[in-house]
Amino acid sequence: MRYQIWNRTDTLYTPVADVNGKGSYTPPEYIAVKAPWMANPAAKAIITTGAINCAVFQEFEKTKDFVLGMVCEHIAAKDQTTGDHILAVFPILVALDINWEDQTASAAAMAWWAGVEDGVVLELMEWLEDNPLQIPSPETLEATASERIAAALEFQNLMSLSDA
């Protein structure tokens, strides 16, 4: 895994030193200087695994919401390579009672998502990084000649209507 929940005891090592030349922080130092929101005992932070464990430092709950939004986008896209695949890789998501098209969920689904294990969220984060949603290129979104002609004729008809 590339990510983990910070246990608030590990020293944090950043990829680069700050302006004072400091590149490692004890938990109390990091909380005081860089992340005062972590003083809240309920707060959780995601950090990276490995020697440089502070390459990422993000608040867990907001990231969890973002991950759910990305999951919805993948499934709503109905792309065989992502939408169906994510449900196959993470069958636990089938339990979500979500309308994938407009990303609305029942209260029960959101309660289930709120209680999902942290490890599942971290695994989904990695999966989403490894399987980005395919955005159509502008060339594929360009109207064909017949679509442009139809639009022009529709506009011409609308302009010929009386104001009354």
Mean pLDDT of the chain: 81
Distance in angstroms (rounded) separating the CA atoms of residues 39 and 47: 16
pTM over 0.75, yes/no: no
Q: Domains of the chain: which residue ranges?
A: 3-60, 62-130
Using the predicted structure, report yes or no on whether residue 110 has a pLDDT greater than 80: no
Q: Nearest CA to 103 among 137, 67, 129?
A: 67
Q: Which residues contact 24 (CB under 8 A, 6 or more apart)?
A: 11, 12, 13, 14
Q: Which residues contact 100 (CB under 8 A, 6 or more apart)?
A: 72, 75, 76
Coil/strand/helix, residue 52: coil
Highest-scoring range by mean pLDDT, 94-98, 142-146, 147-151? 147-151
Q: Give the confidence band of 85 by pLDDT, cuts at 50, 70, 90.
A: low
According to the model, what pLDDT value does residue 154 have? 92
Pairing label, strands 45-48, 104-105: unpaired
